[in-house]
């Protein structure tokens, strides 16, 4: 059997792809007690709560001695699109623990995973450094940005995957072929590995349509809370309920962009306050014009003067009238000009995705409807629905493992989708089979 050591394992999404008779998970480590508890319960593998920056990690590496594969979904918050991009975030350096593990365990292959922003932020300097550092200890490193939707996961989720193989081997690693097509979404940078319906990148003649939210969770509509993990955090607060009820499939609460996908705060007066028809015309006019370059070059949009607003609305508008909208918190002042208050904080909250499309990227905060609401129900996705969207099988239990509801959502949102992991493991199996046929390696023992 091929021995595997897993670092930064979380609840085991990446490990689950390597959980079969070909592989033997020798050890798994994470500094999150809830993650280790969940992984141990479901995968029944040796695992520990461990800080990889501690001396205990060095002791563990000495005890393990060797492994055929090292897996590592090293933390990525410093690169994530969902948070500040901090070049000096100490979590950006945690891959060095994986570098140490690979250097000491000397695997035939290692797999690293991170957010796709790693390839773009800071001009890709971290990618170059990772490749150089692992190259210095004897590994050829390749990377690709893979979208989980192209591997049967009902979710748009792009991740950068690093594959490192020993320079002493002549065998090349073959990346997994996609099984489904799916587009690059608005706002995402394009890559040479994007897969579309007519893509010939992988010499595929037929690709299946992307799996939808409906296909993944429709049967759960008839299930109650007795079904494993089919629960949400708590009942919705009144204002959350009113907002979610006002948003249709494919829409979101957004004052920044004017389109059919946006619902504006002034359209929900029961939550955000009443407005007159004249006030709504003023707000809509500001919203439609604030991003036009003629009024400035602020990336998120430009405040407009009273004169410009009056001219655009063809209304005789006074400062007092606009100040009333400031008091109502619909507008804010900026150097004697006015902009929508929601232009900064109401940018894509309370999304309700389309039932017949893949899910947006599953996040750790999906227990709250402020981030994503169920397409058909007035509530967030349940734990089990989020797990399905990440492609976890139903026999992978979260609450039953003894962790909290909030921890369950968090661990699911941080996980590598198991179906994507399985595609990678199939390619790894092929790699080891070819190595064995070439007599280029022998497998290490899995016994400790």
Taken in order 372, 376, 380, 386, the sign of the CA dihedral is: negative
- Rounded CA separation 227/409 (Å): 16
Q: Identify the CA nearest to 233 among candidates 352, 394, 380.
A: 380
Q: What is the pLDDT of residues 264-279, one digit of tens each?
A: 999 999 999 999 999 9
Query: Under a CB-based contact definition with an 8 Å cutoff, are residues 347 and 254 in contact?
Result: yes
Structure letter (DSSP) for residue 68: S
Which percentage of the chain shows pLDDT scores above 70? 89
Predicted pLDDT of residue 194: 80
Do residues 438 and 430 make contact, with C-beta atoms less than 8 angstroms apart?
no
Residues known to be catalytic: 76
The number of residues making up the chain comes to 448
Q: Please, what is the average pLDDT of the chain?
A: 89
Beta strands, E only, 154-203: 158-166
* pLDDT at 446 exceeding the cut of 90: no
pTM for the complete prediction? 0.89
Which of 39-53, 202-216, 375-389 is predicted least confidently?
202-216
Q: What domains appear along the chain, each with residue ranges and CATH number?
A: 2-209+416-437 (3.40.50.150), 251-345 (1.10.10)
């Amino acid at each position: 059997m091929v021995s595997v050591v897993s670092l930064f394992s979380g609840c085991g999404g990446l490990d689950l792809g390597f959980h079969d008779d070909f592989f033997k998970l020798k050890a798994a480590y994470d500094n999150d007690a809830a993650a280790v508890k969940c992984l141990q319960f479901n995968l029944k593998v040796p695992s520990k709560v461990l800080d990889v920056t501690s001396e205990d990690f060095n002791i563990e590496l000495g005890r393990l001695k060797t492994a055929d594969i090292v897996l590592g979904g090293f933390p990525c918050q410093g690169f994530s699109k969902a948070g500040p991009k901090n070049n000096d975030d100490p979590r950006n350096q945690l891959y060095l623990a994986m570098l140490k593990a690979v250097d000491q365990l000397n695997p035939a292959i290692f797999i690293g995973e991170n957010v796709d922003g790693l390839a773009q932020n800071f001009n890709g300097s971290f990618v170059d450094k990772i490749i150089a550092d692992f190259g210095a200890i004897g590994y050829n490193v390749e990377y690709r940005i893979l979208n989980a939707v192209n591997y049967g996961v009902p979710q748009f989720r792009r991740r950068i995957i690093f594959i490192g193989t020993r320079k002493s081997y002549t065998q090349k690693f073959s990346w997994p072929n996609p099984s489904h097509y799916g587009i690059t979404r608005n706002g995402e940078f394009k890559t040479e590995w994007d897969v579309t319906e007519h893509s010939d990148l992988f010499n595929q003649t037929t690709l299946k349509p992307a799996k939808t939210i409906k296909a993944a969770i429709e049967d759960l509509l008839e299930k109650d809370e007795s079904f494993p993990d089919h629960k949400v955090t708590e009942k919705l607060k009144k204002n959350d309920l009113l907002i979610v009820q006002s948003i249709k499939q494919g829409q979101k609460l957004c004052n920044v962009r004017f389109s059919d996908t946006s619902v504006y705060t002034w359209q929900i007066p029961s939550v955000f306050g009443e407005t007159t028809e004249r006030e709504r015309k003023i707000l809509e006019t500001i919203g439609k014009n604030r991003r036009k370059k003629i009024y400035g070059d602020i990336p998120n949009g430009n405040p407009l003067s009273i004169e410009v607003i009056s001219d655009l609305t063809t209304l005789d508008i006074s400062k007092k009238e606009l100040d009333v909208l400031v008091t109502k918190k619909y507008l804010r002042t900026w150097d004697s000009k006015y902009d929508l208050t929601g232009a900064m904080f109401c940018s894509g909250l309370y999304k309700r995705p389309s039932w017949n499309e893949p899910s947006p990227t599953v996040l750790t905060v999906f227990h709250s409807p402020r981030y994503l609401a169920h397409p058909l129900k007035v509530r967030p996705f349940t734990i089990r629905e989020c797990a399905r969207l990440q492609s976890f099988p139903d026999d992978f239990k979260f609450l039953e493992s003894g962790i909290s509801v909030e921890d369950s959502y968090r661990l699911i949102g941080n996980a590598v989708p198991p179906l994507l992991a399985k595609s990678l493991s199939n390619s790894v199996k092929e790699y080891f089979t070819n190595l064995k046929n070439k007599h280029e390696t022998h497998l290490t023992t899995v016994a400790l």
